[in-house]
A and B are shown apart, each in its own frame.
Chain A
Amino acid sequence: MQWTGLTLSIGMAVAAGLVGCFALMRRMALASDAMSHVALPGIGLALVFHFHPVLGGLAALFAGTLLVWGLERQTRSSTETVIGVVFSLALALGSMLATGDELVDALLGAPGTLGGWELALGLAGAAAVVAFVLTQRNRLVITLVSADIARTSGIRVARLELLFLLAFALTVALGLRYLGVLLMGSLVIIPAATAKHLARTLDQMFAISVGVAVTSTLAGELLASRLHRATGPVIISIAAGMFLVALVVRRGR
């Protein structure tokens, strides 16, 4: 494995661990999985028209983000159904655009080799997500507890939620090459869910979530190249294993 790929995967995992804490607390566990699927038609179009697949995925993700944001501002109850339908449709359309090995790579992840500008853009994206979560954490916490308290504290709630969803979409895009469309949503949620079981404070939750995300990504990449398997499934198996251990540990407390 190249050091460039390694660096980017660490950046991606840190971003996923942090964004995941707020995604989980916002009860986006299922929506985040579905949302990551929306990248596939973008990747498919990128393959058809010969531009970079991650850029196509990112564009599709941003479009999906605006859709979720718009829906959340309407009614809450129907949002989940619409997300389920629209994002399954995205998966179906994307699978028709991409075929064969390309499809398998897009679905399950394949690290491949990284160009210099890909690394630079990826690291910049990861840094932007991490900086967003760390600088806006207080506003995010208040909004999470009560949007009305946030409003009276001078927080522009709708704008903050849009920025959070965009950070989420960017994180998913960063992980596409390692985990693929099917599993990237899980790397956002599983480490945060593990942390929720073990942590007692918010700082602990951030630390554990980032720890689980980075550990499972690095271990998964190493193991996948040894076993000649797609990286995504191996990374998620390791993360899910850590989640199950956390459940047992908490029971034992």
Chain B
Amino acid sequence: MENALEVEGLSVRLGGTEVLRELSFSVRSGSALAVIGPNGAGKTVLFRALIGALPHGGVVRWAPGTRIGYVPQKLDIERDLPVTGRDFLRAKAHVSGAPGADLARALELVNLPPSAADLAIGAFSGGQFQRLLLASALLGEPTVLLFDEPTAGVDEPGEERLYEMIHRVQETERLTLLLISHELSVVYRYATNVLCLSREAPCFGAPEEILTPERIEQVYGTPLKYHHH
């Protein structure tokens, strides 16, 4: 299978500090890459460099014809504006050249009832809002989905459902998935490969190789408990 993404010697400097240094990895088409690491290790910076939002050194090579659906962790907008979920989805559909029918399908894929889309975005719960963003990312037939911490601001029973849904969407839409996550048990279950970022040298490999207690202690600086089923 060919690669959806190849990264060679990626370096990013922000305000004089080197956040990412000589990072190399690749992502096969249709696989799932989980990016883990402590806060401040540069996970979001990596995503933003990958989409071309940050200047960087090294090479980022997407497969020809790649279309990216991106779900950021933080939005630039205040939540108390009269913008409904549907306002946002319509705008996204229009800009991505997606036909109107795709909008209903995207809502269905993420289990959002059409009536929920008519709420102001400020009225969405954390989990609903992430699903709305996922629906918007699915408009325009993306080939790759970048998801920055899906469960930030989602309650615990919701977390599980959200990850299951992302996994299901990835399978049905045959997407390549890049995911930033702190949920190591989820990473273990769903990820094809794991990229760990830390102040030490980054590591990259299959979950069984990377998610060992010693490695995790090295990456996070403390022993971290997680269970895999």
Is A bound to B? Answer: yes
Interface residues of A (CB under 8 A from B): 25, 27, 137-139, 141-142, 144-155, 195-196, 199-205
Digit string of B163-186 for contact with A (CB within 8 Å is 1, else 0)? 000000000000000000000000
**Complex contacts, A152 vs chain B, CB 8 Å:** 51, 68-70, 146
Cα–Cα distance between A84 and B83 once the two chains are bound (Å) = 30
Nearest-neighbour CB distance to chain A for B101, whole angstroms, equals 18
Interface contact A147-B82, CB-CB below 8 Å: no
Interface contact A146-B77, CB-CB below 8 Å: yes
Assess whether B76 is interfacial by the CB under 8 Å rule: yes
Cα–Cα distance between A154 and B82 once the two chains are bound (Å) = 25
Known A141-B83, A145-B75; 7 more pairs at CB < 8 Å: A141-B91, A144-B76, A146-B75, A146-B77, A152-B69, A155-B95, A195-B82
A–B pairs, 26, beta carbons within 8 Å: A138-B91, A138-B94, A144-B76, A145-B83, A146-B72, A146-B75, A148-B48, A148-B51, A148-B70, A149-B136, A150-B95, A151-B53, A152-B68, A153-B96, A196-B81, A196-B82, A200-B120, A201-B82, A201-B83, A201-B87, A202-B82, A202-B83, A202-B87, A203-B87, A204-B82, A205-B82
Chain B contact patch, size range: 20 to 34
Cα–Cα distance between A135 and B190 once the two chains are bound (Å) = 42
**Complex contacts, A203 vs chain B, CB 8 Å:** 87
Nearest-neighbour CB distance to chain A for B69, whole angstroms, equals 7
Chain B contact residues: over half helix, strand or loop, or mixed?
Answer: mixed
Assess whether B25 is interfacial by the CB under 8 Å rule: no
Interface contact B81-A141, CB-CB below 8 Å: no
Cα–Cα distance between A147 and B90 once the two chains are bound (Å) = 17
User: Which residues of B (63-116) have their CB < 8 Å from a CB of A?
Assistant: 68-72, 75-78, 81-84, 86-88, 90-92, 94-96
Assess whether B140 is interfacial by the CB under 8 Å rule: yes
Digit string of B10-44 for contact with A (CB within 8 Å is 1, else 0)? 00000000000000000000000000000000000
Digit string of B132-156 for contact with A (CB within 8 Å is 1, else 0)? 0000110010000010000000000
Assess whether B157 is interfacial by the CB under 8 Å rule: no
A201-B91 in contact given A27-B78, A146-B75, A147-B53 (Cβ < 8 Å)? no
User: Closest residue to B51 on the A side, CB-wise?
Assistant: A152
Cα–Cα distance between A205 and B137 once the two chains are bound (Å) = 25
- Which of A27, A142, A200 contacts B91 (CB under 8 A)? A142
A-B contact count (CB 8 A): 81
Cα–Cα distance between A118 and B38 once the two chains are bound (Å) = 61
Interface residues of B (CB under 8 A from A): 48, 51-53, 68-72, 75-78, 81-84, 86-88, 90-92, 94-96, 120, 136-137, 140, 146
Interface contact B81-A25, CB-CB below 8 Å: yes
Interface contact B68-A142, CB-CB below 8 Å: no
User: Lowest 7 A-B CB distances belong to which pairs?
Assistant: A138-B91, A199-B82, A141-B91, A152-B70, A152-B68, A138-B94, A202-B87
Interface contact A153-B140, CB-CB below 8 Å: yes
- Which of B75, B77, B86, B92 contacts A25 (CB under 8 A)? B77
Nearest-neighbour CB distance to chain B for A142, whole angstroms, equals 5
Interface contact B84-A149, CB-CB below 8 Å: no
Cα–Cα distance between A84 and B164 once the two chains are bound (Å) = 50
User: Closest residue to B74 on the A side, CB-wise?
Assistant: A146
Cα–Cα distance between A150 and B52 once the two chains are bound (Å) = 12
- Which of B76, B92, B95, B120 contacts A147 (CB under 8 A)? B76
Nearest-neighbour CB distance to chain B for A217, whole angstroms, equals 23
Nearest-neighbour CB distance to chain B for A149, whole angstroms, equals 6
**Complex contacts, A145 vs chain B, CB 8 Å:** 75-77, 83, 88
User: Closest residue to A203 on the B side, CB-wise?
Assistant: B87
Cα–Cα distance between A195 and B81 once the two chains are bound (Å) = 10
Nearest-neighbour CB distance to chain B for A54, whole angstroms, equals 33
**Complex contacts, B91 vs chain A, CB 8 Å:** 137-139, 141-142
User: Closest residue to B15 on the A side, CB-wise?
Assistant: A75
Cα–Cα distance between A147 and B51 once the two chains are bound (Å) = 11
Interface contact B95-A146, CB-CB below 8 Å: no
Nearest-neighbour CB distance to chain B for A4, whole angstroms, equals 35
Which among A138, A153, A204 has the highest number of chain B CB atoms within 10 Å? Answer: A153
A139-B95 in contact given A27-B78, A148-B48, A152-B51 (Cβ < 8 Å)? yes
Nearest-neighbour CB distance to chain B for A203, whole angstroms, equals 8
Cα–Cα distance between A99 and B136 once the two chains are bound (Å) = 55
Cα–Cα distance between A203 and B91 once the two chains are bound (Å) = 12
